[in-house]
């Protein structure tokens, strides 16, 4: 009598865990070999050492033509990988390994490494505008708040706000920044300040408090910020990097020609120093093709910085939770 074929789930747990601990994050798709193996080795056990490494350099995802993308791991290895979720979409925020993605009237959270996806209530604007987003905490957190911001034709700042559990977005506007605030290039949120921070491409800086709807405008002076026409000064809560893509020669590392234009989405990355957590905010960038090739129609791609983390949605978390 032939011996019964054994499934992947029969592999001893300690062996599965040992295998996972020697894989890089991109290889953790081994759990999708079959349902039995995926259930036998939960993500929280098999990727703990890979998800939260100290001082990990953000990775970069290049997308924009179809579902085929390039993932650059740090400054080293390139992977070709298929992300259908990014086909025809635009990443507008990145934090803690989660992407906030805009696709017509749909905005959703997406973790590329686990393929976890959380769809938010319908966005009130169907146009693909130059939106920039930010969120206060991972989408699985009870207190997660999401903002999507842009500068409209009247030079006002429009901010759409959504709390977890809400069924609709709420609009907030700031109308008094025409002379002191330019094109939006970055947005972020830090818990200790309980405010969204919105930066322009020169030295303007806005804050918005979701609790009371209060706006404040600042000018950046060195590493500090100062209220316009005020003596009030405070320190910027994190380091800012305006030209990460260009300074790291990312076109060369990605193997792109000079006729390629790229719009990038930044990220809020964290790292440890002297037992303290510090943050660095990578700005959005718009990299045009070289002048000498503009007579020819070049490619226009998109990119996003992301911290390498694997998030699996808890069973109790559904698309209606946000």
How confident is the model over 229-258, as pLDDT tens digits? 554 556 777 788 999 998 888 998 998 888
Taking residues 281-298, what's their average pLDDT? 74
d(Cα 278, Cα 270) in Å, to the nearest integer? 6
Model confidence band, residue 31 (pLDDT cutoffs 50, 70, 90): very low
User: 25-28 contacts: CB < 8 A, separation 24 or more?
Assistant: 25/50, 25/51, 25/113, 25/308, 25/309, 25/310, 26/71, 26/73, 26/79, 26/81, 26/113, 28/113, 28/114, 28/310
Average pLDDT, the chain: 79
Q: Give the mean model confidence (pLDDT) for residues 16-35.
A: 51
CB of 164 closer than 8 Å to CB of 217: no
> What structural domains does the chain harbor?
12-51 (no CATH), 52-306 (2.120.10)
pLDDT at 131: 93
Mean pLDDT of 79-104: 93
Per DSSP, 41 falls in state: S
The mean per-residue pLDDT over the stretch 70-93 comes to 89
What token pair was written down for 136?
């206060």
Q: What share of the chain is helix, strand, coil (3-state, %, to 5)?
A: 15, 40, 45
What is residue 113's predicted lDDT score, i.e. its pLDDT?
87
pLDDT level of residue 171 (50, 70, 90 thresholds): very high
- Residue 30's pLDDT band (boundaries 50, 70, 90)? very low
Which of 53-62, 96-105, 127-136, 168-177 bottoms out in mean pLDDT, i.e. has the lowest?
A: 53-62
Of 142, 217, 214, nearest in space to 178 by CA: 217
How far is residue 278 from each of residues 55, 221, 267, 274, measured CA to CA in Å? 10, 20, 14, 10
Q: What is the pLDDT of residues 4-19, one digit of tens each?
A: 555 555 656 555 555 5
């Amino acid at each position: 009598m032939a011996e019964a074929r054994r499934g992947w789930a029969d592999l001893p747990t300690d062996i599965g865990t040992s295998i996972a601990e020697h894989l890089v994050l991109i290889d953790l798709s081994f759990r999708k070999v079959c349902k039995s193996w995926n259930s036998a080795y939960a993500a929280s056990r098999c990727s703990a050492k890979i998800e939260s490494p100290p001082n990990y350099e953000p990775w970069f995802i290049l997308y924009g033509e179809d579902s085929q993308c390039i993932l650059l791991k740090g400054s080293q290895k390139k992977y070709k990988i298929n992300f259908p979720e990014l086909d025809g979409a635009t990443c507008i925020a990145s934090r803690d390994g989660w992407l906030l993605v805009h696709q017509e009237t749909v905005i959703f959270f997406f973790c590329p490494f686990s393929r976890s996806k959380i769809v938010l209530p319908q966005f009130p604007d169907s146009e693909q505008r130059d939106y920039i987003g930010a969120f206060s905490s991972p989408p699985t957190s009870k207190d997660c708040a999401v903002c999507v911001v842009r500068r409209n034709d009247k030079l006002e700042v429009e901010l759409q706000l959504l709390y977890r559990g809400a069924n609709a977005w709420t609009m907030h506007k700031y109308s008094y920044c025409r002379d002191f605030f330019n094109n939006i290039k970055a947005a972020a949120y830090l818990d200790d300040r309980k405010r969204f921070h919105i930066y322009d491409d020169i030295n303007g800086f806005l804050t918005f408090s979701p609790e009371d709807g209060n706006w404040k405008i600042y000018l950046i002076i060195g590493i500090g910020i100062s209220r316009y026409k005020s003596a009030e000064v405070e320190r910027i809560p994190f380091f800012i990097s305006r030209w990460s893509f260009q300074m790291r020669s990312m076109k060369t590392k990605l193997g792109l020609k000079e006729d390629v234009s790229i719009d990038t989405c930044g990220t809020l990355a964290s790292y440890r120093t002297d037992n303290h957590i510090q943050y660095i905010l990578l700005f959005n960038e718009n990299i045009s093709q070289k002048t000498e090739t503009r007579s020819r129609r070049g490619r226009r791609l998109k990119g996003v910085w992301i911290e390498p983390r694997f998030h699996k949605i808890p069973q109790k978390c559904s698309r209606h939770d946000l």
